[in-house]
Each structure stands twice: as structure tokens, then as C-alpha cells.
Amino acid sequence: MGWVSALWVSANRPVLSGASAGRFRKWFWKARHRRLLKQRGIVGRGVLIDWYSWAQRNNVQRSPFQTGAVELSQIKAIIAQNKIEFRQGDILFLRVGFTDNYNKLSTLEQEQFPDRQPGGLLGLEATKDSLKWLWESGFAAIASDAAGFERGPATGPYNDPDVSIHQWALAGWGLPIGELFDLEELAVKCAERGRWSFFLCSVPLKIPGGVASPGNAVAIM
């Protein structure tokens, strides 16, 4: 997993440019958990759900650069196929193919990416069933290579008006969300070993008043 050259702050849009743009990732967290994360970081058992590889094998064609939903039924199919068993406190990683597709863009396309039309991003469907699954799985944190984890824009005719994963996870549960993680090498290693869990260590930056930080994470198989 890589590093990052920029930090997201609440009212500014991130600029995806430079050599590390494709490896940009960040954690968001609730204010009351900021002190704990700064002191101890995030350490635990990570579990990868490689939806992108599953979609390619099953001819499910969805661009990570356009609004679209990773359906909960598809995730459950991957879990069953790979015989994944979650434990209380696991850290979920969902790969939707953002990094792979972004790295294939030209330098000019990467520079123009934030202003592309139409907008929108692929991510987990924001439904009550998705929220229930995230809660009942007992995750300590959730992350993805997607730019927003959930389907974006977060508001639209396709979403339940009462469901925003960011609002429920961050403000409601204090559940950190990681975005834009580079999961490419991890996906290869997991597939080679037929093992989808790993030791995860993440050390966010100590920034007073910060609402997000580079992940500074490593996965150990």
C-alpha cells in the first residue's frame, strides 16, 4: 500500500495529480475518536472483498467513474464463494476497481478527472439492508479503493432518502471510513494464496482539528 502527497480538509476538493495520485487514500473519523486514533492508530484483522475481480469474471460491466451500485447480494455471493468468515472488530476492504482504471488514464485525463461529465462514482449501494449488514458484521472500520465508499453522488433518485452510509457510519456509529486505498497488489496476493484476511496496521497523522488523514497503512499476509 502506498503513501499520499495531499490531505483532504472539509470544504476543499482534493486534487488527484502527481506520481502518488493513484495511491491516494484517507481515513475519515468522528471527532470523539480522533484522540484514540492519533494515540494508537488502527490495528486489526483486515478482510478483502474483491468485487472488481468477481465482476470481471461474471461479465458485470460497471465503470468506477460513473454512478453505480455494488449490490449487497453480490458481496454476499463473493463471501460465500471465498468462504469468508467475519469476526467482531474486522476491518472491511471493498475493491471496486477505481485504482486499476485510474492508473490506465493518461496524465491529461487524470488532471481533468475531477471535472469530468457526467459525474458520479461506483460504490456500495446505500440501502437499509446495507446498513444492517455493516452493523451486524461488527466492523471496526470500513474502506475501499472507491473515492466515496458508497455510491456517489450520495443523494439521488436511486438512494433511500433516509440512508447515507457516511452519516450513519461516521456520525452515528463512530465507524472510520477509508477511501481511495490502493488494493491492487493486495488483491493479487490474496488471490494467489486463496486467503482474504490479513494483519492491517494504519497510522493516521496527528493533525489537531483534522477530519481526515492519509492512511499510512500496511497489510501483512
CATH number at residue 142: 3.50.30.50
**Percentage of residues in the chain having pLDDT higher than 70:** 79
Residue 15 lies in a domain: no
Residue 210 lies in a domain: yes
* Interval 154-201: pLDDT, tens: 666 666 777 889 889 988 998 889 999 999 999 999 999 999 999 999
Which of 174, 114, 103 has its CA nearest to residue 141?
A: 174
In the prediction, which pLDDT does 15 show?
38
In the prediction, which pLDDT does 39 show?
62
53 within 8 A of 60, measured Cβ to Cβ:
no
- Residues 50-79 have a mean pLDDT of 95
Residue 5 lies in a domain: no
Residue 10 lies in a domain: no
Residue 84 is part of which domain span?
A: 23-220
**Number of domains forming the structure of the chain:** 1
Other C-beta atoms within 10 Å of 59: how many?
Answer: 6
Residue 12 lies in a domain: no
- CA 120 distance to own-chain centroid: 15
Element holding 51 (H helix, E strand): helix 51-57
Running DSSP on this structure, what letter comes out for residue 60? -
150 within 8 A of 166, measured Cβ to Cβ:
yes
Residue 16 lies in a domain: no
Q: With a cut of 50, say whether residue 24 has pLDDT above it.
A: no
